[in-house]
Amino acid sequence: MYAVIKTGGKQYRVQPGDVIVVEKIDGDAGAAVNFGEVLMLGGDKGVTVGAPLIDGAAVAATLIETRKGEKIKIFKKIRRQGYRRTNGHRQMESVLRITGIEGAGEKAKWDGAVDLMTKAEINARARGLAPRVEAVEAEAPKAKKAPAKKAAKADAAEGAEA
């Protein structure tokens, strides 16, 4: 099942499980977001087109992160006048995971778990700069080996007495 939603002045075709980047939406990471402006639904029963919206249809999503987008360079020039201006802008954007679609008598839900890993962390892992979660969990039991430290202290105490 898929839906076409409208948010931030743009339209997006989404399915459960999709990750989309939209204009900034208020909320913290992990917050639930609902879109009521559903323009079209498609599924097993066929395509339902709204006029302009479908009544009772909704798309549920989870906010993964709010971040700055790619830098846009603005360059202005008037030739032969010595006028050149360079400027830049980074628009705020939100990353969403679509978790469910319902409407027109159908429901579709995503069964996976929403991972709140940011793009910066994904990029750091790709370059080998961030520790893997499995590696951090594997090192945690090794840190609990305190008896070796106590034995070292006991040896030091015996050496001081002698």
- pLDDT for 92 equals 96
123: Cβ contacts below 8 Å, ≥ 6 apart:
none
Of 94, 86, 102, nearest in space to 64 by CA: 94
Per-residue model confidence as pLDDT tens digits over 16-51: 999 999 999 999 999 999 999 999 999 888 999 999
Question: In the chain, where are the structural domains located?
Answer: 2-121
Query: What digits encode the pLDDT tens for the residues 74-99?
Result: 999 999 999 999 999 999 999 999 99
pLDDT at 128: 84
The rounded distance, in Å, linking the Cα atoms of 142 and 125 is 23
Neighbouring residues of 16: CB distance < 8 A, sequence distance ≥ 6: 1, 98, 99, 100, 101, 108, 109, 110
Q: Residues 20, 26, 31, 32: what is their CA dihedral angle, to the nearest 10 degrees?
A: -70
